[in-house]
């Protein structure tokens, strides 16, 4: 984990379904307005499609759908948070992302025991800021899903059609 000279990490705070999530600034390439993703056949239900960001085509993942929340229409506050980890780039669609925060590593607490098995894969922990609870997202785990690969699938093998007058 990269820490700053002050011993704290910089985070971008995102709102999603009424909760606050924190993503390490080092994992974020950029923040964009959410356009209309181009649907992709047979994509996982949480992938809204693909978008072009500065000439690069990337999957657009609805974090609402990924986390099992009801989908909501995009509005002027919705953001595409472009993240990169281990050679994989993905756009995460969130309700809003307009705040920055610094969080000391020791301020991040482990997930409560009953939550960790259910949601722990994508969360590094929780932190308090004033009266606000922030869920710290683990971008490495979010992007580790093989369903998010940005490499095109191999085309299916071509089969030749039977010739007229022959039986198969």
| Count of beta carbons in the 10 Å neighbourhood of residue 93 | 25
The pLDDT tens digits for 66-124 are 999 999 999 999 999 999 988 889 999 999 998 999 999 999 999 887 775 556 678 88
The pLDDT tens digits for 122-163 are 888 999 988 889 999 999 888 876 555 544 433 334 444 444
Asked if residue 153 is part of any domain, the answer here is no
Asked if residue 156 is part of any domain, the answer here is no
Whole domain around residue 129: which residue ranges?
A: 9-148
**Under DSSP, is residue 69 helix (H, G, I), strand (E, B) or coil?**
coil
Asked if residue 112 is part of any domain, the answer here is yes
Contacts of 14 (CB under 8 A, 6+ apart): 20, 21, 22, 23, 63, 79, 81, 92, 94, 95, 96, 97
Asked if residue 165 is part of any domain, the answer here is no
CATH of the domain at 37: 2.40.50.180
Number of domains within the chain = 1
Asked if residue 2 is part of any domain, the answer here is no
Q: How buried is residue 95: exposed, middle or buried, by Cβ count under 10 Å (0-12/13-18/19+)?
A: buried
């Amino acid at each position: 984990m990269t820490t700053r000279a002050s011993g704290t990490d910089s985070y971008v705070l995102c709102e999603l379904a009424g909760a606050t999530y924190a993503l390490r600034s080092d994992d974020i390439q950029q923040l964009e307005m959410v356009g209309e993703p181009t649907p992709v056949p047979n994509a996982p239900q949480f992938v809204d499609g693909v978008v072009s960001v500065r000439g690069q085509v990337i999957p657009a993942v609805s974090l609402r759908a990924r986390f099992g929340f009801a989908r909501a229409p995009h509005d002027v506050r919705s953001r595409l948070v472009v993240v990169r980890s281990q050679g994989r780039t993905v756009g995460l669609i969130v309700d809003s992302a307009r705040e920055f925060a610094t969080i000391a590593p020791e301020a991040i607490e482990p997930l409560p025991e009953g939550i960790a098995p259910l949601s722990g894969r994508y969360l590094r922990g929780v932190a308090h800021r004033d009266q606000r609870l922030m869920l710290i997202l683990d971008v490495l785990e979010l992007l580790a899903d093989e369903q998010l690969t940005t490499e095109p699938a191999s085309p299916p093998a071509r089969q030749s059609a039977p010739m007229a007058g022959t039986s198969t």
